[in-house]
Amino acid sequence: LLRPRTFPQSGGFLPGKNTLAQLKETGSAFEVEHECLGKCQGLFAPQFYLAPDDPCIQCLECYGMFSPQTFVMHSHRSPDKRTCHWGFESAKWHCYLHINQKYLGTSEERELKHLLEEMKEKFSEK
């Protein structure tokens, strides 16, 4: 059982709307989301994901940069009052991170899902 604390925590470097615009311009970045202890949407930039802890996801709300594992702990929603959370482990971020719902049913869906799966497997021990 996990009792959610108050988030957000600060994401660190490269804050600001300009960075977001820059990431989008690079073309390969795509939007992702999670629903852990609240929910959050972000922009995943594969070119920045060079080591497991590299900040490569930018929160669409505060523009903070996060590694995948810290992103799934990042949310701007107020903590739940009547919901208990079971089995959440940030190390299982690959189970929680999905492409943004806006891509579902579009021509990009398959390609982006595949790209996200590649990112999830990039540093997994096999």
Q: Which residues bind other proteins (CB under 8 A)?
A: 1, 35-36, 80-89, 92, 95-96, 98, 104
Query: Closest separation between CB of residue 122 and other proteins, Å?
Result: 18
Residue closer to other proteins by CB (options 24, 120) is 120
Residue closer to other proteins by CB (options 23, 36) is 36
Query: Closest separation between CB of residue 89 and other proteins, Å?
Result: 8
Rounded alpha-carbon distances, angstroms, from residue 47 to 19, 29, 43, 55, 107: 14, 8, 12, 11, 23
Query: Closest separation between CB of residue 1 and other proteins, Å?
Result: 6
In the numeric block, which tokens belong to residue 125?
């021990």
Residue closer to other proteins by CB (options 38, 55) is 38
Cis peptide before 8 (omega within 30 of 0): yes
Strand order in the sheet with 65-66: 65-66, 57-59, 40-44, 30-34, 98-99
